[in-house]
Amino acid sequence: MRWQGREGSDNVEDRRGAGGGGGGGRGGGLLGIIVLLVGAYYGVDLSGIVGGVPQIGGSAPVAREQPAQRSAQEQELTQISKVVLRETEKVWSDYFHRHGAHYRMPKMVLYDDRTHTACGTGNASAGPFYCPADQKLYIDLSFYNTMKHELGAEGDAAFAYVLAHEVGHHVQTVLGTIEKVHRAQQRVGKREANALSVRLELQADCYAGLWAHYAQKDGLFEAGDIEEAYNAAEAVGDDRLQQRAQGYTVPHTYTHGTSAQRKQWFQRGLHTGDIEQCDTFK
């Protein structure tokens, strides 16, 4: 990506080095996990592979043993994240404006390991996530290494896809979709709730694609970047993650969609640049 020299967003809250937990504490952590399980936050959700591959959460401590390397890579990732967030602000502000509406920008929180959120304690091992209750995206930058080493999705554009997906959840919040779906989920059984979750997640993928459509026009991407983003969308498909974690798949437990679906919806947003084409609830 051509991120160097580009404007970064100021809507960033840096909690790194805050000592973990961010005020959550042990009790808060347990309560947080309960809140997270009822689906109040929306993220990549790697909890499946975390169970199967215990060392995945260890990527941050390993990086800390090499402070110089960590800081160089982290500085770069920090800047990339700010630039991507700024690009989403530009694209979505323009898009809302063209449709006679105002885009309320989200905040991006950078943290290490664990942090307090309005949705409970956020744990980096589950991957980046968005909390509708405080309208913030939570990112532990070590996820870049998790993507590269554990998920086989390397590169800045792969990382950008994940950020744009989380911003997609913010757009769903602004449009009232998340609240509507969350209410519907409380009225149905587990299977149907999962199916609704899949539709919500695929829509966030389509929104990420819509963002990429306009970011591409803005000259952000270089050769190979779109392929990197496709590869990342496939890498976080439920079938791929479950196969990796437990050696088999259980489709009715899917909450994010298969690799093929995630790529397909990202592609749809990318090709059309039209939010009407992202109606996964039809």
Provide the minimum distance between the beta carbon of 62 and Zn ion in the complex, in angstroms, as a whole number.
26
Give Dmax (Cα) for the chain. Answer: 51
Residues 173 and 194: their CA atoms lie apart, in Å, by: 18
Q: Which of 3, 41, 42, 159 binds Zn ion (CB under 5 A)?
A: 42
Q: Which residue is nearest to Zn ion (CB)?
A: 42
Residue 45 or residue 150: which is nearer to Zn ion going by CB?
45
Other C-beta atoms lying within 10 Å of the C-beta of residue 31: 14
Residue 39 or residue 74: which is nearer to Zn ion going by CB?
39
Site string for Zn ion, 196-215 (x = CB under 5 A): -----x--x-----------
Q: Strands 120-123, 12-14: parallel, antiparallel or unpaired by DSSP? A: unpaired
254 lies in the site for Zn ion, by CB under 5 A: no
Provide the minimum distance between the beta carbon of 240 and Zn ion in the complex, in angstroms, as a whole number.
15
Radius of gyration over alpha carbons of the chain, in Å?
17
Q: Give Cα 208 distance to the centre of its chain.
A: 10
Other C-beta atoms lying within 10 Å of the C-beta of residue 107: 16
Quote the strand ranges of 88-237, DSSP E.
107-110, 114-117, 120-123, 129-131, 136-139
Provide the minimum distance between the beta carbon of 171 and Zn ion in the complex, in angstroms, as a whole number.
12
Provide the minimum distance between the beta carbon of 204 and Zn ion in the complex, in angstroms, as a whole number.
5
Q: Give Cα 20 distance to the centre of its chain.
A: 20
From the list 1-9, 36-44, 82-90, 134-142, the region that binds Zn ion by CB under 5 A is 36-44
Q: Which two tokens stand for residue 255?
A: 């909450």
From the list 4-12, 41-49, 105-113, 172-180, the region that binds Zn ion by CB under 5 A is 41-49
From the list 80-88, 151-159, 193-201, 242-250, the region that binds Zn ion by CB under 5 A is 193-201
Provide the minimum distance between the beta carbon of 66 and Zn ion in the complex, in angstroms, as a whole number.
31
Residues 2 and 252: their CA atoms lie apart, in Å, by: 40
Total residues interacting with Zn ion, rule: CB under 5 A: 3
Report the interface residues with Zn ion, using CB under 5 A.
Answer: 42, 201, 204
